[in-house]
């Protein structure tokens, strides 16, 4: 069975309901869909073993799926909430050690020159994250890497959507300024007028 992130039609079972019922295909889909992003979040937050953390997230999901209530959109938020809590717990327990960018940001390099350029840019982006306050960094990571909407990030971080928008705007502006100061050109599409 193929699962999508849409609301199921009458008579169809959504991804969350199928996983709750123990559907192996649903769990495979969950691992394929969420695994790379969870690993990316873990790497961006400095988790020493992103693969181990990802496995812990799926284990926590399996343990508590019977209590989950909601549609597939709520399931996505619930999944990233679990991932975020696991990351915060690891981060608090260990010293931060950056180990790389998420897989989806480090793919499709055509040759050695492009790989070196991308690695240099990736390193600069990760280093630039260090200038952000913890709450700004969390918002930027959940927004940019996990691609979560403001409403979901507000739920995960237990704050208001307005606060998330302010933190995201301020964090991205600070990152943009730091990268520009370090000689990286900000694409025209990301520059603000004025």
Instruction: Give me the pLDDT at residue 185, please.
Output: 65
| Overall number of domains in the chain | 2
Domain membership of residue 190 (yes or no) is no
Is residue 119 pLDDT above 70, yes or no? Answer: no
90 and 148, same domain (yes or no): no
Q: Is residue 6 part of a domain?
A: no
Let me know if residue 5 belongs to a domain: no
Higher pLDDT, 17 or 191: 17
- Asked whether residue 192 is domain-assigned, the answer is no
81 and 140 in a single domain? The answer is no
The parent domain of residue 125 ranges over 111-184
- C-beta separation of 68 from 16 below 8 A: yes
Residues 119/98, Cβ–Cβ less than 8 Å: no
Same domain? 61 vs 129: no
- Mark 8-24 as b/e (b = at least 16 C-beta within 10 Å): beeeeebbbbbbbeebe
CATH of the domain at 81: 1.10.1740.10
Cα 154 to Cα 2, 102, 120, 162, distances in angstroms? 30, 23, 32, 9
Predicted confidence (pLDDT) at residue 169 exceeds the cutoff of 60: yes
Q: Do 57 and 136 have their domain in common? A: no
Q: Among residues 76, 100, 124, which one ends one of the domains?
A: 100
pTM score, whole prediction: 0.59
Q: Do 43 and 85 share a structural domain?
A: yes
Percent of the chain with pLDDT over 70: 68
Q: How many CB atoms sit inside 10 A of residue 183's CB?
A: 7
pLDDT at 115 > cutoff 80: no
User: Could you say which of 100, 133, 160 is where a domain stops?
Assistant: 100
**pLDDT given at position 145:** 73
What pLDDT score was predicted for residue 7? 42
Percent of the chain at pLDDT > 90 equals 21
Query: Per-residue pLDDT tens for 4-53?
Result: 444 443 345 688 888 888 899 999 999 999 998 888 888 877 788 889 99
> 95 with 125, same domain?
no
Structural domain contains residue 115: yes
Across 113-122, 125-134, 169-178, least confident range: 113-122
Whether 126 is in a domain gets the answer yes
Domain containing residue 121: CATH number: 1.10.10.10
pLDDT exceeds cutoff 80 at 152: yes
Looking at 45, 73, 100, which one is the last position of a domain?
100
96 and 156 in a single domain? The answer is: no
Report if residue 106 sits inside a domain: no
Quick one: 27 and 82 in the same domain? yes
Instruction: Quote the CA–CA distance of 18 and 75 in Å, as a whole number.
Output: 12
Compute the average pLDDT of residues 116-143.
72
- Copy the structure tokens of residue 142: 């959940």
- What mean pLDDT is reported for the chain? 75
- Tell me the torsion sign for CA atoms 188, 125, 88, 52: positive
pLDDT over 50 at 108, yes or no: no
Do 91 and 128 lie in one domain? The reply is no
The arithmetic mean of pLDDT across residues 103-115, rounded, is 47
If asked whether residues 118 and 84 sit together in one domain, one would say: no
Within a domain: residue 76? yes
CB 46 within 8 A of CB 98: yes
pLDDT in tens, 61-97: 999 999 988 888 888 889 988 998 888 777 666 544 4
The pLDDT, as a whole number, for residue 176 is 83
Considering the domain architecture, whether residues 20 and 89 belong to the same structural domain is answered as yes
């Amino acid at each position: 069975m193929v699962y999508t992130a849409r609301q199921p039609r009458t008579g169809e079972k959504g991804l969350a309901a199928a996983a709750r019922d123990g559907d192996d295909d649903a769990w495979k889909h969950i691992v394929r869909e969420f695994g790379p992003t969870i690993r990316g979040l873990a790497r961006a937050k400095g988790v020493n073993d992103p693969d181990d953390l990802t496995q812990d997230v799926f284990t926590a999901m399996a343990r508590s799926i019977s209590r989950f209530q909601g549609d597939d959109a709520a399931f996505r938020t619930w999944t990233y909430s679990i991932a975020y809590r696991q990351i915060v717990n690891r981060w608090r327990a260990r010293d931060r050690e950056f180990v790389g960018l998420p897989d989806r940001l480090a793919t499709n390099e055509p040759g050695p020159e492009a790989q070196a350029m991308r690695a240099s840019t990736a390193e600069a982006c990760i280093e630039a994250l260090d200038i952000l306050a913890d709450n700004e960094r969390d918002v930027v990571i959940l927004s940019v890497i996990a691609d979560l909407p403001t409403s979901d990030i507000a739920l995960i971080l237990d704050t208001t959507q307005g606060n998330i928008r302010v933190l995201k705007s301020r964090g991205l502006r600070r990152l943009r300024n730091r990268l520009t100061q370090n000689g990286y050109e900000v694409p025209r599409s990301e520059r603000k007028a004025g």
